Structure 1
Amino acid sequence: MNDDHPVLARISLNPHSREVQRDLRDATQMHRTVMRMVPDGLGDSPRHQAGLLYRVDETDTTSTLLVQAHRLDPAGLPAGYGHTQIKSLAPMFTALRTGLPVRYRIVVNPSKRERPPHADLNTRGRIVALSGPDADQWWHRRAATAGLDVHILTPTNVHPVRPRTTQAAPMRHHLLRYDGTAAVTDPAALAEALRNGIGRAKPYGAGLLSLAPATAS
């Protein structure tokens, strides 16, 4: 497979696996588990070096884990974790062109940095989660920057996640899933967003953008 294009693993999670049950409760553990699928020795920022992004898609009866990276080895997963299928995303990248209608799905952490009143310009401020119309506008802006003209967006609340390690900051990552349709406006920018993800909280299941062909309206 061409290393320039990532691969995608679709893992149908085994609901009877203790490791799966643990990971669905604990985003830090889920991150550790998916990192077991990428090569060792990637330096100080292994997730970034591996190009790893992931998302959990849940229905009333099933949970599917999507993992994207430059290289993935399902042998790194715990025994009995789930059924894994891996495919190259090269055809998707090759198909990108201006005006292409697509369906999309993404889980994001809509947020902004807010400085206290009268703070000097060197004060970074705190991260504030966005919701409702503010979150929708955030996604419209980020999608436009990523080369997508959003036509339809349907938000779905996702359970917020909190890092559970003792060293982690005591903040919750408020997650929101968007599904909808869009048209490609900038294939190069979109390819970059597909490889690198969009927004914050990537170690906690946010940022992975999925695309599929859509019929032009």
Structure 2
Amino acid sequence: MTLWLTRIVPNPHFADAQRDIHRKDGGIRLHRRLMSLFPDHAGADARAHYGVLFRTENTPTGTHILLQSSHEPDLSRLPEEYGTAITRSLEPLLNAVRTGLPVRYRCVANPIRKPGATTRALYNLPAVVPLTGDAADDWWNRQAEAAGLKPLTLNAVPLDTVHGLRGKHGSAAEQVIRHARTQFEGTATITDPDLLRTKISQGIGRGKPYGCGLLSIAPAKATG
């Protein structure tokens, strides 16, 4: 499995870069921006074809963009003044994954529940219900276990909801995208290395084109 991780540090003085990371529709804008770094004509689902997952992260030096992909991005396609970027292979990290290894994890995800038709009618619920609090924590624990991780600690922080128009033209220009986001991070031990590699590659949950689903891990010191 070959995956690439790119860190982009946007130029604080370049207006397009700041719009990509600070506007409410930033997840939608970033999706378009990052997909422009890959070859055209990849089919109906270019994001899945190139394994593109991404998120923004607040750091002491400002907001950074993390991009993971199965195809090395062409950074020369970024506007010249967009910012600085560097790409590295995740192969050494993925090769080091083993059962029982303690890791730190982070994932910005879209925790939701889809009530059945009877429940929706009875309680007047929408088709998709965003989860918060303990319900979001429970959702994450199930996702983590299904990804080959046994969570040990968890810190969940609600983030701004990504929303905006799906596209610029035709019916897409009338379709509103909304994805509630929560950042989950903590420590875990690896229970299934192969499953974990697959989930890192595929991402977790909904909203992957809009900055959700990227699962990152790093080795952690064992405790006890």
TM-score by length of 1: 0.91
Conserved 8 A contact 2:120-2:127:
no
Higher helix share: 2
Matched residues in 2 for 1:34 and 1:161: separation?
16
Secondary structure class of the residue paired with 1:9: strand
Matched residues in 2 for 1:195 and 1:172: separation?
24
Other-structure match for 1:35: 35
Matched residues in 2 for 1:78 and 1:46: separation?
21
Quick one: which amino acid aligns to residue 98 of structure 1? Answer: T
Other-structure match for 1:6: 3
Cα–Cα, structure 1 residues 18 and 189, in superposed 2: closer, same or farther, change >3 Å? same
**Per-residue CA distance 1:72-114 (angstroms, 9 max, x = gap):** 1111112211111110000011001000000011100000111
Q: Do residues 180 (structure 1) and 186 (structure 2) align? A: yes
Other-structure match for 2:156: 155
Of the three residues 3, 12, 15, the one matched with 2:12 is 15
Matches within 5 A, 1:49-198: 49-59=49-59, 61-70=61-70, 71-117=72-118, 126-164=127-165, 165=167, 167=172, 169-198=175-204
TM-score by length of 2: 0.89
Shift in Å at residue 61 of structure 1? Answer: 4.8
Quick one: which amino acid aligns to residue 136 of structure 1? Answer: D
Of the three residues 195, 200, 213, the one matched with 2:206 is 200
Quick one: which amino acid aligns to residue 128 of structure 1? Answer: V
Structure 2 stretches of 5 or more lacking a match? none
**Per-residue CA distance 1:35-67 (angstroms, 9 max, x = gap):** 011222211110000000001001465011000
Report which stretch shifted further, 38-47 or 162-171. 162-171
Shift in Å at residue 118 of structure 1? Answer: 6.6
Structure 1 stretches of 5 or more lacking a match? none
Identity of aligned residues (%): 40
